[in-house]
C-alpha cells in the first residue's frame, strides 16, 4: 500500500504568539518572536522482569513537565517579550506566566496551544556579539505542567 503525499503543509510565516500574566488577558508578541519550541513532557514508564517469561511487565506513569522556549528580538520598551520575561523572572519566588501560540495565525478554525501556569526558569539576560550584525535576541524558557490544544472559535480565542 502506498500512502498519499500531504499537500497542505504549513509554513511558519504567520505564527501567532501571546503571553499573559493571568491566563485571561493576552498580549500579542508575534512581532518580537521568531521561534517557538517545546521539549519534555515525556511519560514516565516502569518495567519489571519476572522469573517466568522473557518480556518485561511495562506500565505507564505520569507525564513530566513541558518546557516551552520562545526566542525573539530583544527590545527595551514595553509590552514586548523581554519585558514579560524580565518581570516574571525578577519577581520574588517567580511569578506566573502563560503562553499560547497558533501555527495558522490564530484565526477561527486554527488549532491553538495554551500552556498552564508556567515558571520562567531561564535567565532573562540576552547575549550580544560584536562580530555580528544580527539583532540581539532574547529567550523565554517557560516550564509548565501542561499544554492544551484547542480549536479557535469564531469569536477568537
Q: Where are the domains of the chain?
A: 14-151
pLDDT-derived band at 63 (thresholds 50, 70, 90) equals very high
Whole-prediction pTM: 0.89
- Selection from 149, 41, 137, 150 nearest residue 81 by Cα: 137
* Measured distance CA(115)–CA(121) in Å, rounded: 15
Residue 134: per-residue pLDDT:
95
CATH number belonging to the domain at 14-151, selected among 3.30.450.20, 2.40.30.200, 3.40.50.300, 3.30.70.2860 = 2.40.30.200
* DSSP assigned state of 156: B
Residue 9: per-residue pLDDT:
84
Q: Where are the beta strands (DSSP E) in the chain?
A: 16-20, 27-28, 33-40, 43-48, 57-63, 66-73, 98-102, 111-115, 118-120, 137-144, 147-151
* Measured distance CA(145)–CA(99) in Å, rounded: 12
pLDDT digits (tens, 9 = 90+) for 88-147: 999 988 889 999 999 999 999 999 999 999 999 988 999 999 999 999 999 999 999 999
Residue 8: per-residue pLDDT:
81
Amino acid at each position: 500500500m502506498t500512502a498519499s503525499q500531504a499537500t497542505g503543509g504549513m509554513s511558519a510565516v504567520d505564527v501567532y504568539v501571546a503571553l499573559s500574566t493571568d491566563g485571561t488577558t493576552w498580549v500579542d508578541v508575534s512581532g518580537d518572536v521568531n521561534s517557538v519550541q517545546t521539549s519534555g513532557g515525556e511519560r514516565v514508564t516502569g518495567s519489571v522482569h519476572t522469573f517466568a517469561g522473557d518480556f518485561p511487565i511495562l506500565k505507564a506513569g505520569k507525564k513530566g513537565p513541558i518546557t516551552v522556549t520562545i526566542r525573539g528580538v530583544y527590545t527595551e520598551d514595553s509590552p514586548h517579550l523581554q519585558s514579560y520575561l524580565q518581570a516574571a523572572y525578577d519577581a520574588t519566588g517567580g511569578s506566573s506566566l502563560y503562553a499560547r501560540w497558533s501555527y495558522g495565525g490564530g484565526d477561527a478554525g486554527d488549532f491553538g496551544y495554551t500552556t498552564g501556569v508556567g515558571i520562567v526558569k531561564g535567565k532573562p539576560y540576552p547575549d550580544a556579539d560584536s562580530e555580528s550584525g544580527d539583532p540581539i535576541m532574547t529567550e523565554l524558557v517557560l516550564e509548565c505542567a501542561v499544554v492544551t490544544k484547542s480549536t479557535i472559535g469564531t469569536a477568537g480565542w
